[in-house]
Amino acid sequence: MTTHTFTPDQSPGVGAVRVTRPYRAVFLDWITTTDHKKIGTMYAIAASVFFLIGGILAGIMRIQLAIPENDFVTRDVFNQSFTMHGTIMVFLFLMPMLAALGNWMVPLQVGAADMAYPKVNALAFWMIPLGGTVLLLSYLMPNGPHAGSWVSYPPLADVSESGTAFLPGHGVDLWIGAIAILGISSTLGSINFIVTVYKMRAPGMTMLRVPIFTWTVIVQSFLAIFSLPVVTAGLAMLWISRNLGGRFFDPSAGGDPILYQHIFWYFGHPEVYILVLPVMGVVSEIIPVFSRKPLFGYKAFIFATLSIAALGTMVWAHHMFTTGAIQVHFFAFTSFLISVPTGVKMFNWTATMYKGKIEFTSAMLFALGFLMMFLIGGITGVFNATGGLDFSLHDTYFVVSHFHYVLVSAALFGLFAGFYYWFPKMSGRMLNETVGKVQFVLLFLGVNFTFLPQMLVGLDGMPRRIPTYTEEEGWGLGNLISSYGYILIALAAILFLLNVLLSMRRGKISGDNPWDAYALEWATSSPPPYYNFDRLPLIRSERPVFDENHPEAVATGDH
Amino acid sequence: MRRSPTNDCRIPSALFLLLGATVLLAGCAAGQPDSITEEGDSVRSLYKWVFGLAVLIFLAVEGAILFMAVKFRRRKNDDGSLPPQIHGDNRLEVVWTITPLAIVLVLFVLAYQNINDLQAEVPADEIQALVDQDKALRVDVTGLQWVWQFAYPDFAWQNSEGDMSPVKILGENTNTIPETAGSVPTLRVPLGIPVQFKLHALDVIHSFYIPQTLYKLDAVPGRVNHFEMTFTETGIYNGQCAELCGTSHADMRFRVEVMPADDFFAWAASEQAKGETSALADIAAEEAEEAAEAEAANDDGTGTSANDSSEENTESATEDTSGTETETNPASPGEATSNATDTGSGVEQADQVLSERE
């Protein structure tokens, strides 16, 4: 393939002549870069740092809850911990990590040299550490960070009639600022993705030949543009209420606390799909490649993705059934409907494996793990969607378990799958497969040990967001098992980190296309040169690299 | 670029066994607590349907995934040729769009009826008649940081200020002692007749949740949410605030004592009578005082005495609450006493807030 000897922007990898540059030059290069691959890498590094912080906060909660009436931390510290855990994991780990994969892969998958707006791309990235810093600075404030949970319902997050804050200090204000910054960052990133795909696709790549991962990033971006500005506006109202006497949510001044909940969940539910859709895309890249078959029902899959996004904007009030201010029947119905396109996806993934020749690489195992865990997340969602059952399950550990099955399967199984699959493309080296399999087993056990007992104590009535519970309630055993499960998840995460750090330098050299994969990113060298492509293959289907490498299949029309 | 064929299906097979064990374990343990209300029974039967379907779908889909993974693994003697490149099948897509759609439509019909069951209430014009015959009861529930207060508007008397004062059960306000679990108020309700709860919130949003009723509803400032329940089991049950409401959210507990209707009404009537007696005594004392004042004709302390008497009322209600506490919460008598002395002012404060807002 490419025989480049020296390029000024070369990342350390195969085929490159290592040129030692002064640290200052390297540093300046990274902080001023507009290269989508370097920005992608920086997104991944930032997200990993925040993942460790969010994970430590989860550890604090698991220690506190491991035994009844524990006093490992105070109630305030506990409340701050779950607030920050939720915020960090959603806004500073999952979204940036998906942006990392999107940045790396979307231009490569559509055959572009970079994103449409490289400088906007850099700006969007640098707002992540900025937002994270603003959020974490609240730990230095007199009353510590926000303790009103990531939903921050007024009046709790607001001020009382007399103007005193229910949560003292400026934790909430910094939190609002951070979410606004991070929301704008994601909106900018989303616009960039959409323009890149619409305007910069390689010749021959029609919209129905765009790889599934890129499709899901597009749909995700539209959802983000529809929903993030809404929550930013809602949080601006909250900030005005807190600091300038806005009283939007104060019933004594004609406001309504339920209004905030509508605004928040109008963003909050699409947010779930913002986090999950690209991961579905990752899995839809991996399962076909390791089954040696095309994705079953490519068009059906795109249609299902669009349906999920459309329905996803119509279900928000199922988070508010117990407010007594909701037409329960309607939102139960729309929530039920979402399981239909999700089911279609599940069946398409399963059918993709039919008559395949499945190879159990780490990436494939994690992808299968995603299917299996996401199914649990989806089925438990139906319980909540019924409306009637939600009156008993809402705000209990059942819900905590439900959305962790959804988001952890996305965050950990799906993203690990993606990194095992694309690490060779990013670095030119393989991640260690043995470590990957050990890590998979640890994670699979860990997730189920952590979240299955939570489901059971939740059914038994344990409310979420409580720092303690009494012994007579009988939730001790479930919580203890759950806390042990946390250790397994933490071990799996640490193993992954070690695997990445060691493999970057010492991993097996991968070659350009170690998996014999299909999409356009595998047509260039690994790692790609800064301009991405020396040449492009003919694009006559959604699998151009497969078509080029397997002329026999194309010749028989069997492609 | 061919990879060496592998035959590593041990992990998926192990997963299959593990999942089987998990399902077995979860199946035995999974379940909501037995319901103690008629409405809860409706939720419970819906739960059984949904859970049954969920288990079937779970087993079918997980089974299909693992079956595919194991059955179509790459074999050791693989020749490296491509498997058949199947791009999809529209008939199948239609089948697996319509099947889940049919399932959720059936579920929706069940859910629809259940929602109607939960939202059914005795019409407003009928409830008064039922209440008069002791065939229904109304309870006002008030949530404030971090305590529950219960009042029975149907059992009220005229106090010395001429206002109606209902029988009340007040929790101890843990506001003043944030790091200690406060003792819990016990709400008494009758068995077998509809109880209408009205939920009020004085500061932030709280949520009135008794796990064994399989129901909760938020108490939202500026709204009065209400719902009805008919209790079907006597006993003492735990309840707890289910919406994060600040530092001591976890301490915002209460208990519900479901008692035979006759016992309940006897108790409520006696509380009402006690209240009436003390109010009459207050009024008599006041009149006597006023008479004395008139005699002295140089005193101007009327306002103060009215305040005094209203505080006495509060105290009598508080004493009653702590009486029930010692019955039901023998775990920490020492703490309870010290709490009582510490938080006496807290309760009064809360009660004052309550009356001011009302």
Mean pLDDT of A294-315: 95
Segment A397-431, tens digit of pLDDT: 999 999 999 998 777 899 999 999 999 999 999 99
Segment B185-194, tens digit of pLDDT: 899 999 999 9
Of B82, B214, B227, the CB nearest to A292: B82
Q: How far is CA A398 from CA A55, A204, A460, B288, B295, in A?
A: 20, 48, 9, 61, 70
Segment A166-214, tens digit of pLDDT: 998 899 999 999 999 999 999 999 999 999 999 999 999 999 999 999 9
Q: Quick check: A339 and B115 CB within 8 A?
A: no
- The whole-number pLDDT of residue A551 equals 87
Domain CATH number, residue B236: 2.60.40.420
Residue positions of A annotated with a catalytic role: 85, 114, 150, 185-186, 269, 271, 273, 284, 318-319, 342, 345, 464
- Determine phi and psi for B249, rounding to 5 degrees: -45, -40
With beta carbons less than 8 A apart as the criterion, state whether A277 and A308 touch: yes
Please tell me the distance from the alpha carbon of residue A446 to that of residue B1, in angstroms, as a whole number: 35
Tell me: do B112 and B167 sit in the same domain.
no
Place of tokens 């009024």: B283
Within 8 A of B110 by CB-CB distance, chain A residues are 386
Please tell me the distance from the alpha carbon of residue B240 to that of residue B255, in angstroms, as a whole number: 8
Residue B81 lies in a domain: no
Please tell me the distance from the alpha carbon of residue B125 to that of residue A551, in angstroms, as a whole number: 80
Please tell me the distance from the alpha carbon of residue A446 to that of residue B18, in angstroms, as a whole number: 13
Tell me: do B50 and B186 sit in the same domain.
no
Segment B19-56, tens digit of pLDDT: 666 666 665 556 778 899 999 999 999 998 899 899 89
Q: Which residues in B15-45 are b (16+ Cβ under 10 Å) and which e?
A: bbeebeeeeeebeeebebbebbbbbbbbbbe
Please tell me the distance from the alpha carbon of residue B182 to that of residue B171, in angstroms, as a whole number: 9
Please tell me the distance from the alpha carbon of residue B147 to that of residue B172, in angstroms, as a whole number: 6
Mean pLDDT of A341-368: 95
Tell me: do B168 and B26 sit in the same domain.
no
Q: Quick check: A358 and B112 CB within 8 A?
A: no
Q: Tell me whether A155 touches chain B (CB under 8 Å).
A: yes
Tokens of A309: 């996004």
- The whole-number pLDDT of residue B132 equals 87
Q: How far is CA A170 from CA A136, A526, B248, in A?
A: 12, 47, 20
* CATH 3.30.450.40, domain A23-555, yes or no: no
Q: For residue A48, which of A553, A497, A443, A361 has the smallest C-alpha distance?
A: A497
Residue B184 lies in a domain: yes
Q: Is 90 exceeded by the pLDDT of residue B229? A: yes
DSSP string for residues in B206-227: EEEEEGGGTEEEEE-TT--EEE
- The whole-number pLDDT of residue B350 equals 45
Residue B233 lies in a domain: yes
Q: Quick check: B244 and A354 CB within 8 A?
A: no
Please tell me the distance from the alpha carbon of residue A27 to that of residue B330, in angstroms, as a whole number: 66
Residue B189 lies in a domain: yes
Residue B272 lies in a domain: yes
Tell me: do B96 and B186 sit in the same domain.
no
- The whole-number pLDDT of residue A17 equals 55
Q: Is 90 exceeded by the pLDDT of residue B324? A: no
- The whole-number pLDDT of residue B276 equals 86
Within 8 A of B107 by CB-CB distance, chain A residues are 336, 382, 386
Contact pairs from chain A to chain B, CB under 8 Å = 300
Distance from CA of A77 to the nearest CA of B (A): 9
Q: Express as a percent the part of chain A with pLDDT over 70.
A: 96
Of A340, A437, A466, the CB nearest to B249: A466
Full residue range of the structural domain in which residue B167 is found:
136-357
Domain CATH number, residue B26: 1.10.287
Domain count, chain B: 2
DSSP string for residues in A372-436: HHHHHHHHHHHHHHTSHHHHHHTTBHHHHHHHHHHHHIIIIIIHHHHHHHHHHHHHSBPPPHHHH
Q: To the nearest whole number, what is the mean pLDDT of chain A?
A: 92
- The whole-number pLDDT of residue A341 equals 96
Tell me: do B146 and B55 sit in the same domain.
no
The ipTM is 0.90
Of B31, B73, B203, the CB nearest to A459: B31
Tell me: do B168 and B55 sit in the same domain.
no
With beta carbons less than 8 A apart as the criterion, state whether B84 and A355 touch: yes
Q: Quick check: B83 and A291 CB within 8 A?
A: yes
Residue B125 lies in a domain: no
- The whole-number pLDDT of residue B76 equals 86
- The whole-number pLDDT of residue B3 equals 47
Segment B243-271, tens digit of pLDDT: 999 988 988 899 999 999 999 999 999 99
Within 8 A of A443 by CB-CB distance, chain B residues are none
Q: Is 50 exceeded by the pLDDT of residue B178? A: no
Q: Is 70 exceeded by the pLDDT of residue B208? A: yes
Q: Is 70 exceeded by the pLDDT of residue A138? A: yes
Tell me: do B219 and B344 sit in the same domain.
yes
Residue B79 lies in a domain: no
Of A257, A340, A392, the CB nearest to B221: A257
Higher per-residue confidence, B355 vs B84: B84
Per the DSSP assignment, residues forming a β-bridge with B231 are: B37
Q: Is 50 exceeded by the pLDDT of residue B354? A: no
Segment B76-91, tens digit of pLDDT: 888 888 999 999 999 9
Q: Quick check: A448 and B88 CB within 8 A?
A: no
For chain A, the structural domain boundaries read 23-555
Tell me: do B186 and B47 sit in the same domain.
no
ω into B83 cis (within 30 of 0): no
Tell me: do B179 and B308 sit in the same domain.
yes
